[in-house]
Amino acid sequence: MKDAEVILKAAEIIRRGGIVAFPTETVYGLGANGYDPLAVARVFEVKRRPSFDPLILHVADPSDVEKLVKEIPSDAKKLIERFWPGPLTVVLLKEENVPDIVTAGLPSIAVRMPDHPMALSLIKESRCPIAAPSANPFGYLSPTEAEHVREQLGDQVDLILDGGPCPVGVESTIVSFSEDKPRLLRPGGISLEEIETIIGKVEISPIEDRPSAPGMLSRHYAPRTPIVLDWSEKSLDSYKGRRIGLLAFREPDKSLNCNHIEILSKKGDLREAAASLFAAIRRLDALSLDLILVETVPEVGLGRAIMDRLRRASGLIF
Ligand code: TXA
Ligand code: MG
């Protein structure tokens, strides 16, 4: 079947209350009709996601947001104009017509317009906003290829749209406008620096104080193999006899004493590193290693999102 035909079939499934995995520019999502509480309930069930963790509604046009929220503050409008379609989610006070199951009972709703042709056609053809978390079992790494979804949720999903690898590779940045001041709830594909260029300083939630982004739990985005941040040649030697994998940010200048190495970006480019991050961890996780050691990346631009995911994957954030 051609892409266009598969998308029509997928939209039909969504309209009938089914669930479809679809590509976005960040990661694959697991989508259902955002107005259909039963369909959304199936998404929670398949992901084994706790019901207190709200979902993002995906729209195909900025004007679609108006019916979902009470108002769009001017700073939120500026970000939408600048970054949509793209990896930015805004949290706004919701309108009554948004089912409580989508927002886990919160008075606010997270919305975004993805920058991916398949996602946008799917939403348009479904004629409804699509509620979708990342298409992974709760707590595990987000999928950045259709194959990742197939491996973990394949038989439980009505259809998987294959759009190839996701170009951004980390989830959207979440900025909340549900309080007085804009607040960064999750670093992601649009950097904090880019956001502050448009609307000035935003509050940053201290990690342990994020009740409004309940998805940010310890050992989120986590593989099965233990991960330790930071490494050195000395630490590699101290693990002699153990099966060690190394997740390197850039190409090491000499050969290293470990069982397997994954290089995120040969030349040390943060965008390239973000795009390869989850697939590289998955490959390491499949090797039955004792430990994955990680070279940290600079915490600027996309490096902030990469380090956030790595800290969670290693269980460093509680
Ligand atoms: O890039 C992305 O955002 C991907 C793609 C599929 O769009 N989606 C994604 O969804 O990462 P998910 O469900 O894995 O993460 C959404 C995060 C969760 O941490 C959730 O707690 C938070 O958004 N969230 C959703 N609604 C919220 C709300 N009303 N207030 C605060 N946080 C919210
Ligand atoms: Mg997720």
How confident is the model over 97-114, as pLDDT tens digits? 999 999 999 999 999 999
5 alpha carbon – ligand 1 mean position (Å): 29
Output the pLDDT for position 240: 86
Whether 23 and 164 have beta carbons less than 8 Å apart is answered as yes
Residue 317 confidence class, pLDDT cut points 50, 70, 90:
low
Whether 25 and 168 have beta carbons less than 8 Å apart is answered as yes
Output the pLDDT for position 205: 78
Q: Is the CB of 24 under 6 A from ligand 1?
A: yes
Q: Is the pLDDT of residue 290 over 70?
A: yes
Ligand nearest to the CA of 56: 1
pTM above 0.85, yes or no: yes
* Mean pLDDT, range 273-292, rounded to an integer: 96
Output the pLDDT for position 231: 81
Q: Is the CB of 21 under 6 A from ligand 1?
A: no
Q: Is the pLDDT of residue 175 over 50?
A: yes
Tens-digit pLDDT profile for residues 192-234: 999 999 999 999 976 454 445 555 555 566 788 999 998 888 8
Q: Is the pLDDT of residue 318 over 50?
A: no
* Mean pLDDT, range 87-92, rounded to an integer: 98
HEC profile for the chain?
CCHHHHHHHHHHHHHCCCCEEECCCCCCEEEEECCCHHHHHHHHHHHCCCCCCCCEEECCCHHHHCCCECCCCHHHHHHHHHHCCCCEEEEEEECCCCCHHHHCCCCEEEEECCCCHHHHHHHHHHCCCEEECECCCCCCCCCCCHHHHHHHHHHHCCEECCCCCCCCCCCCEEEECCCCCCEEEECCCCCHHHHHHHHCCCEECCCCCCCCCCCCCCCCCCCCCCEEECCCHHHHHHCCCCCEEEEECCCCCCCCCCCEEEECCCCCCHHHHHHHHHHHHHHHHCCCCCEEEECCCCCCCCHHHHHHHHHHHCCCCC
Picking from 225, 244, 224, the residue whose alpha carbon sits closest to that of residue 234 is 244
Output the pLDDT for position 304: 97
Q: Is the CB of 91 under 6 A from ligand 1?
A: yes
* Mean pLDDT, range 65-86, rounded to an integer: 98
Output the pLDDT for position 130: 98
